[in-house]
A and B are shown apart, each in its own frame.
Chain A
Amino acid sequence: MTSAGGPEGRSYAPVPARGPGGFDGRLLELTEELRGEGLAVGTSELLDAFAALGEIGWTEQSQFKEALAATLAKSPEARHTFELVFERFFFRAVEAEAVRQGVGESVAGEAGQMLSLDLEELRRQIAAAVRDGSESAMRDLARLAIAAFAQGEGSGVLGVDVQRIRRALGLRSEPQPGLPADDPRRPGLPRERVRRFEQHLRRELERAMIQRTASLPPKRPLTELDRALPSGPIQDLAAVHRVVAQLRRRLATQGHERRGRRRHAHVDVRRTMRASLQTGGVPIDLRYRPRRPRRPEIFVVCDVSTSVTSASTFFLSVLHALHDSFRKLRSFVFIERISEVTEVFERERDFRAASEAISRDAGVADVSGYTDYGRVWTELLELIEDELHPRATVIVLGDARTNGRPPREDVFGAICARAGRTFWLNPEPRLYWDYGDSVISSYERHCTAFECWRTDQLEDFVKALTAPATA
């Protein structure tokens, strides 16, 4: 274990109220929850957190939270999870304490105020607060909105109530040209801010429900959706490029360690001289320059048929990013027959233009427009047979749905046997593999298959490549 900084012998932090239920205990509970949500919080991190809390003032929540975040959450994803867990943890802790002590809020004042409130004016105010993104205004208005628009005790399902109130307020991210020109909702509200307002609504509704029932609902673990960093298709494209940059590094250095030191390496004069000092200046043992790894050669084969429509944009962006990073790369798209698109990507630097050019000119559909893997493999083998060698990597992007046509895994096996490595990225969740006309398992015998329809899965794929080669 590492020491948590500072000279030895100094106690970590002047933490008040030691013992179970005291502050230490609470922080440990929080770490337990963080671990439960998949954050790797070690003992050394925990000690750091205590040390950090000893150095800052506790009067500001943001400082307290930032200090914990800096010591406990060490990647953007972990940071995002941390914020969610932190919110949930302290919200529940406060509410549990309120329930225990029987503290409630009187709603009478607000209700009385409500009678004189113009609902249309309230809608506008809320929309303005959402547009400006002011947290405190949104929080206050969320309570008013609940008082004004929630119907009695609500449906009992928080998500439904939240959406009902949002609709009643007319908060939408699309432009609403029907509204008057000075209405803040007219040009459409930022999606991210609307989401934040929904969170305020949800929290206030939850608070009200806890107060009503005087008990805490069971804790809800974070879902994939909560966990995902807010992102749109644009960030996705950037993320794909980032992952592919990793992939490039990995493929470029792999096989390097296996080759080891071999014949005709160049002598590194500087290091040889340095080594010769041990033998009085006589260069007895020669030191060599490390060999530069050869550039990898990659063949990418991408399915663009209708069964993978949703995934093909993703795949094409992977292809596009690959072309950015590798010089020795040939790419093919296929449906019924195969067509080389290397030139398209080399000519068109813009992703959109490239994908349009492909759908226009590739000419991969023949008669039916259904994928014919058997034919594609035969054609591919013919095309690249002479260029396949053990240093080549073949990557297939496709769902392995043959539409009942012969899969010809023997031809695919021949391709794999000639290439050094073959990977298959399947855009379907593993659950659906081999259902219906999917024949992925007969292909998987010859290659390594990955489930891949999100960027983080693409990252998993890269990590799998990173893992030390077993062969």
Chain B
Amino acid sequence: MSGFDTNLSQSPEGVDAVAAGLRAAGYLAGGSTALVSFLAAKLGKPVLVEGPAGVGKTELAKALSRYLGRRLVRLQCYEGLDEAKALYEWNYRKQLLRIQAGTAGEDGVRDETGWDDVQQDIFSEEFLLARPLMTAIASPEPVVLLIDEIDKTDQEFEAMLLELLSDFQISIPEMGRVEARTRPVVLLTSNNTRELTEALKRRCLYLWLDYPDLEHELEIVRLHCPELPETVARRLVEVVGMVRELDLRKPPSIAESIDWARALLLLGATDIDPATFRATMSVIVKHRADLDTVAERVGVKLERAASAA
């Protein structure tokens, strides 16, 4: 790990360098994405990334870790996530073993002088199970920390994050404070299902990711699926754009556009005609009710286009 160039990971040269680097890591950053990533690395501030599902929020963190040459530490949030699973936990089995090993050594006679040692011992780092946040803080190499779907957790958990995000330290009552050895790049993602607290937002830079516009998405599809003919790719993003305009339970994400491109490539499609669309539409639309809507609305449009041509 130490082979990575720390210069690179410490300070990217400029916004354009970040954009180029992310591109090399397989992520096409929009205008503000590269800028905010650059600021995050420069200022050492966490970034709160919001946007609809499937616009590449998590992917951004992965690409950043590849570009910066840092390890990605990921904390997936869910309802009921608590400190023991996010920060640290004492390895109580090992602690018990240690205590029992200590007493057994004295032929079953408890040795009072050994107690202090035991006490010191079992609350040391050896008995600590580091969970993602602790791992990120204590890592000797700088890392990229991804706190995914923060809006799924409870407000109490957010409050606990505040110490970490502003001072990059964690307090453990039995051991004292663990301070960050290196400053991680922190990304928090949210699908905006819940309003996050002001205190949390205050500590973060804010990045709103939306569905990309037509040209940008076309570029993304072509980056991931270069063998697909240009005309088909363009048609594909147009259709995906049309589908997103409809009222759907789950609009197609970028990942699904890419999947669809790959599917079309496998089928050797040269154009998206109504028949191909019907056959492959389940790649981008995944609710039964949505399928009906899309078949009705977009299918008709395609037919009209086909008959006009």
Contact = CB atoms under 8 A, between A and B. Distances in A.
Interface of A: 2-6, 40, 42, 44-45, 48, 51-52, 55-57, 62-63, 66-67, 69-71, 73-76, 79, 234, 237-238, 241-242, 245-246, 249, 253, 270-271, 273-274, 277, 280-281, 290, 349-351, 463
Interface string B179-198: 00000000000001111001
Contacts of A2: 166, 202-203
B43 A48 contact: yes
Contact of A66 (B36, B90, B154, B192): B36
A211 B132 CA distance: 60
Contact of B208 (A56, A76, A271, A463): A76
Contacts of B42: 55
B92 interface: yes
Given A74-B48, A281-B96, A242 B207 contact: no
Contact of A70 (B99, B202, B205, B289): B205
A267 to B, nearest CB: 15
Contact of A67 (B39, B154, B204, B245): B39
B198 A234 contact: no
B38 interface: yes
Nearest to A351: B247
Contact of B39 (A70, A74, A249, A351): A70
9 contacts: A6-B43, A48-B45, A52-B205, A70-B32, A75-B50, A76-B192, A245-B193, A249-B194, A463-B195
Contacts, number: 105
B50 A76 contact: yes
A83 to B, nearest CB: 11
Interface residues of B, number: 46
A349 B292 CA distance: 11
Contact of A74 (B90, B154, B201): B201
B278 to A, nearest CB: 19
Most interface-central of A44, A70, A71 (chain B CB within 10 A): A70
A234 B192 contact: no
A55 B38 contact: yes
A66 B202 contact: no
Given A52-B39, A66-B31, A74-B48, A277 B198 contact: no
Contacts of B166: 2-3
B96 A69 contact: no
Contacts of B206: 69-71, 73-75, 79
Contact of B198 (A6, A40, A79): A40
Nearest to A40: B198
Contacts of A74: 48, 201-202, 204, 206
B43 A66 contact: no
B193 A246 contact: yes
Interface string B62-74: 0000000000000
A233 to B, nearest CB: 8
B293 interface: yes
Nearest to A246: B194
Given A245-B193, A277-B92, A238 B43 contact: no
Given A51-B43, A234-B246, A246-B193, 12 more contacts: A5-B45, A6-B43, A45-B202, A56-B15, A63-B35, A67-B39, A70-B32, A71-B206, A74-B206, A79-B208, A241-B249, A349-B288
B200 to A, nearest CB: 10
Nearest to A276: B92
B132 to A, nearest CB: 19
B32 A69 contact: yes
Contact of A350 (B92, B201, B289): B289
Nearest to A73: B206
A-B CB proximity, top 7 nearest: A5-B43, A234-B247, A74-B206, A349-B289, A74-B201, A66-B32, A55-B42
Contacts of B38: 55-56
Contacts of A62: 31
B76 interface: no
Contacts of A349: 288-289
User: Chain A CB within 10 Å — which of B99, B193, B245 has the most?
Assistant: B193
A238 B208 CA distance: 18
Given A48-B45, A242-B193, A277-B122, A56 B39 contact: yes
B86 to A, nearest CB: 15
B44 interface: yes
Nearest to B52: A238
Contact of A56 (B35, B45, B289): B35
B95 interface: yes
